[in-house]
Amino acid sequence: QVDYNTKYSEFHDISLFHPYIDEAVVMCYDLHCQDTGPGTVTNLDWAEKNILYILRFMQPHRLRLGIPAYGYIWGKNGKAKAVSARQAVKKTVGKLFKRTGSGTLMISYGEKTGYVSDRHMRDEMKKLSVKYKLAGWAVWRIGFED
């Protein structure tokens, strides 16, 4: 909801629907996706801001943190292709890669750049779940992990 594409954040307005649900998963991914242009799939600071925002409306035991196990590879044309963390980590062999300030893994090769939520990033996001005493976390998508 916080610092997210308005087209989607207005649809997911927790301030309106929290009284009608028992539990929720705050899906802290697709910060950048095929609709937005290049950038990280998630960001630790962004995820924390969204957790804090939702906790204004819901008790932590009613909330789970959605964590990505994928990312996007961006071509020179600005088009993105989704890639599992497993596929992306394999692509790092012999390629330039680094950890970004967001926490995600950035891979560069040729004219392509990818931002992926790998094991390290998922572990850092799990720590946010523990820090705020959330009900737990969920990975999107099972089987995409590295």
Taking the model in full, what pTM does it have? Answer: 0.90
Confidence of residue 97 (pLDDT cuts 50, 70, 90): confident
Which of these ranges, 44-48, 63-67, 88-92, 129-133, has the smallest mean pLDDT? Answer: 88-92
Per-residue pLDDT, 1: 80
96 HSE (CA, 13 A, CB side): 7
Query: SS3 helix, strand, coil % of the chain, rounded to 5?
Result: 30, 25, 40
pLDDT reported for residue 111: 85
Q: H helices within the chain, ranges in order?
A: 6-9, 14-17, 44-54, 85-91, 119-131
Q: Across 58-132, where does the E strand assignment appear? A: 63-68, 70-74, 80-84, 96-99, 105-109, 112-116
Q: What is the pLDDT of residues 39-84, one digit of tens each?
A: 999 999 999 999 999 999 999 999 999 999 999 999 888 889 999 9
The mean pLDDT value for 124-142 works out to 96
Q: Specify the pLDDT at position 49.
A: 97
> What's the pLDDT band for 109 if we cut at 50, 70, 90?
confident
